[in-house]
């Protein structure tokens, strides 16, 4: 099987790495890729957000499957163009990608499907925003309704700050979704979908804020670990039964079947499991950790999803080890990151047992040296017999990465390793766990 992977980031590097380990995958290409990906497979310098360019490349390369990584090409209709060219594609249509591209649309589908989520209101002007904020009270949650790379959400106790964020979205011509605040730990569950059937991957936890102890602004994600020893038994089944399957059924019913990965962002609140958001692609950097543990060959799995054959796949097989991914970001991320700096020490990092490096914002300079080219530059991914060992290995690796101004969180998986995460949920998962 020949596969083309679309996207430039860490998620795509992790996908390429796993595809190369699939015995049935004979050839992998990527577009546009990054410095790490280009060391593994041929890369093609096309605009990944241009549906015609991607379809033309897939046709020229005579690939059997196209895997679309990020949300932007999905929202631009890349999957539709590839499908129209007669090539199986893992990734939702433009219409189905609205589950991520519009938070208001996602809320509508969740309501239709009876999926538990935060109460929310759409606001289009300052008065509506103020009313909604006062309805739900503090802490205030204000979300830009469009795609914002994980950075369009402000959670604050300061009403003025909440209003100011809403105003900046209105000024940019957009609307906002204002929600009730959800307490409790957050979980990311990736559910493979083929339009009808669903298969969940092992849950992970992401760290959205830039600084330790969840301080500072939101980012795309600063690190992740999996599995979650502390998660209630039955959580994955609850996500399938109450969230993913009803959503997939509803999308099919609407005539916009969902094919690809439904990324369910959850809060395990004191009132039960609630969906925080849907994304329509693998999470980054959760994928770097999740795929490090997946033993079932990835190519066959993604092809089964693309062809509507997930009901034929065997139960997934997982490594017993724990995986941790720690992101090294550029100076000044998530604001305008400084780029163009040399990155050194990566060979030494990979000489640590159980450790590999996944590139995100990197490129090769004119001399063929690896330099930074984005906000999140790379992730050090480590496997260990438990979370304590995986963290030690990951941080031993991070210490060896040389990048001027590089920043990373020191507490990825820390609370979980110390047994400090408590789920107060009264939801079905907790009840089942006791039964
Ligand atoms: P989103 O882009 O919707 O995933 O939001 C980014 C982050 O903001 C989430 O991962 C949460 O940490 C936080 N967040 C979003 N919605 C809520 C909510 N209703 N209550 C509490 N935190 C939230
Ligand atoms: N890590 C969260 C995301 O990919 O949106």
Tell me what pLDDT residue 426 has: 55
Mean pLDDT of 390-419: 98
90 and 17, same structural domain? yes
Q: Is the pLDDT of residue 283 over 80?
A: yes
Mean pLDDT of 239-266: 98
8-state DSSP, 214: G
Q: Is the pLDDT of residue 345 over 50?
A: yes
Q: Is the pLDDT of residue 422 over 80?
A: yes
75 and 26, same structural domain? yes
Mean pLDDT of 194-221: 96
Mode of pairing for the β-strands spanning 370-372 and 355-359: unpaired
86 and 140, same structural domain? no
9 and 80, same structural domain? yes
The model's confidence at residue 139, banded by pLDDT at 50, 70 and 90, is very high
67 and 21, same structural domain? yes
Q: Which two tokens stand for residue 314?
A: 């065997």
**The model scores a pTM over 0.95:** no
Q: By alpha-carbon position, which residue is closest to atom 5 of ligand 2?
A: 283
CA of 59 to the centre of ligand 2 (A): 30
For residue 125, tell me if it sits in a domain.
yes
CA of 413 to the centre of ligand 1 (A): 19
Q: Which two tokens stand for residue 179?
A: 């929600």
Could you tell me the CATH number of the domain that includes residue 159?
Answer: 3.30.1490.20
132 and 89, same structural domain? no
Index of the ligand 2 atom closest to the CA of residue 285:
1
- Indicate whether residue 155 lines ligand 1 (CB < 6 A): yes
Tell me what pLDDT residue 427 has: 52
Over the stretch 216-243, which tens digit does the pLDDT of each residue have?
A: 988 999 999 999 999 999 999 999 999 9
> Which residues are CB-contacts of 366 (< 8 A; sequence separation ≥ 6)?
none
Residue of 276, 278, 281, 283 to mutate, ligand 1, most atoms within 8 A of C-beta: 276
Domain count, the chain: 2
Q: Which two tokens stand for residue 224?
A: 């992740």
% of the chain at pLDDT higher than 70: 97
Tell me what pLDDT residue 145 has: 83
85 and 14, same structural domain? yes
Q: Is the pLDDT of residue 150 over 70?
A: no
14 and 84, same structural domain? yes
74 and 17, same structural domain? yes
Could you tell me the CATH number of the domain that includes residue 58?
Answer: 3.40.50.20
Q: Is the pLDDT of residue 435 over 60?
A: no
Q: Which two tokens stand for residue 334?
A: 């998530």
- Indicate whether residue 277 lines ligand 1 (CB < 6 A): yes
Taking CA atoms, 55 is separated from 31, 111, 131, 306, in Å, by 12, 35, 46, 16
Tell me what pLDDT residue 429 has: 52
For residue 173, tell me if it sits in a domain.
yes
For residue 275, tell me if it sits in a domain.
no
CA 404 to CA 407: how far, in whole Å? Answer: 9
Q: By alpha-carbon position, which residue is closest to atom 5 of ligand 1?
A: 153
For residue 60, tell me if it sits in a domain.
yes
18 and 83, same structural domain? yes
The model's confidence at residue 326, banded by pLDDT at 50, 70 and 90, is very high
Tell me what pLDDT residue 432 has: 45
For residue 209, tell me if it sits in a domain.
no
Final residue before a domain boundary, out of 94, 129, 163: 94
Least confident of 127-131, 151-155, 189-193: 151-155
Final residue before a domain boundary, out of 33, 59, 94: 94
- Indicate whether residue 265 lines ligand 1 (CB < 6 A): yes
Q: By alpha-carbon position, which residue is closest to atom 2 of ligand 2?
A: 283
The range of the structural domain enclosing residue 138 comes to 121-179
88 and 22, same structural domain? yes
Least confident of 84-93, 99-108, 318-327, 383-392: 99-108
For residue 190, tell me if it sits in a domain.
no
Residue of 155, 265, 272 to mutate, ligand 1, most atoms within 8 A of C-beta: 155
For residue 349, tell me if it sits in a domain.
no
CA of 153 to the centre of ligand 1 (A): 7
Residue of 106, 275, 283 to mutate, ligand 2, most atoms within 8 A of C-beta: 283
Q: Are 153 and 166 contacting, i.e. CB atoms less than 8 angstroms apart?
A: no
90 and 8, same structural domain? yes
CA of 367 to the centre of ligand 2 (A): 33
For residue 200, tell me if it sits in a domain.
no
Mean pLDDT of 347-367: 97
Please state, rounded to an integer, the average pLDDT across all residues of the chain.
95
From the number of C-beta atoms within 10 Å of its C-beta (0-12, 13-18, 19+), residue 414 rates as middle
């Amino acid at each position: 099987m020949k596969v083309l992977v679309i996207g430039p980031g860490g998620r795509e590097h992790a996908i390429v790495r796993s595809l190369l380990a699939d015995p049935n995958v004979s050839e992998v290409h990527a577009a546009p890729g990054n410095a790490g990906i280009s060391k593994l497979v041929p890369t093609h310098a096309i605009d990944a957000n241009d549906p015609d360019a991607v379809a033309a490349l897939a046709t020229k390369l005579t690939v059997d499957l196209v895997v679309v990584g990020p949300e932007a090409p999905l929202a631009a209709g890349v999957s539709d163009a590839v499908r129209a060219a007669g090539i199986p594609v893992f990734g939702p249509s433009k219409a189905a990608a609205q589950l991520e591209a519009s938070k208001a649309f996602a809320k509508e589908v969740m309501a239709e499907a009876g999926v538990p989520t935060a109460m929310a209101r759409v606001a289009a002007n300052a008065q509506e925003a103020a009313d909604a904020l006062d309805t739900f009270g503090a802490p205030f949650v204000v979300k830009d309704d469009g795609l914002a790379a994980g950075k369009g959400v402000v959670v604050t106790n300061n009403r003025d700050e909440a209003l100011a964020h809403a105003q900046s979205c209105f000024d940019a011509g957009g609307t906002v979704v204002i929600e009730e605040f959800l307490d409790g730990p957050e979980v990311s569950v990736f559910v493979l979908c083929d339009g009808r059937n669903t298969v969940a991957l092992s849950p992970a936890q992401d760290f959205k804020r830039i600084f330790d102890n969840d301080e500072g602004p939101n980012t795309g994600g600063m690190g992740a670990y999996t599995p979650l020893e502390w998660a209630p038994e039955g959580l994955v089944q609850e996500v399938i039964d109450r969230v993913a399957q009803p959503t997939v059924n509803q999308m099919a019913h609407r005539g916009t079947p969902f094919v690809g990965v439904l990324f369910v962002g959850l809060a395990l609140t004191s009132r039960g499991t609630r969906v925080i958001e849907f994304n329509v692609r693998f999470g980054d950097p959760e994928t770097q950790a999740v795929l490090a543990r997946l033993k079932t060959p990835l190519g066959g799995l993604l092809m089964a999803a693309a062809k509507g054959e997930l009901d034929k796949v065997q139960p997934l097989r997982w490594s017993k080890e724990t995986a941790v991914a720690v992101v090294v970001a550029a100076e000044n991320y998530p604001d305008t990151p400084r780029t163009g700096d040399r990155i050194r020490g990566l060979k030494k990092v990979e000489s640590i047992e159980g450790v590999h490096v996944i590139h995100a914002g990197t490129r090769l300079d004119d001399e063929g040296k690896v330099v930074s080219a984005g906000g999140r530059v790379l992730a050090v991914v480590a496997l260990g017999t438990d979370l304590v060992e995986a963290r030690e290995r990951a941080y031993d690796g991070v210490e060896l990465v040389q990048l001027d101004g590089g920043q990373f969180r020191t507490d990825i998986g820390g609370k979980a390793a110390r047994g400090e995460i408590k789920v107060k949920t009264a939801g079905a998962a907790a009840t089942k766990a006791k039964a």
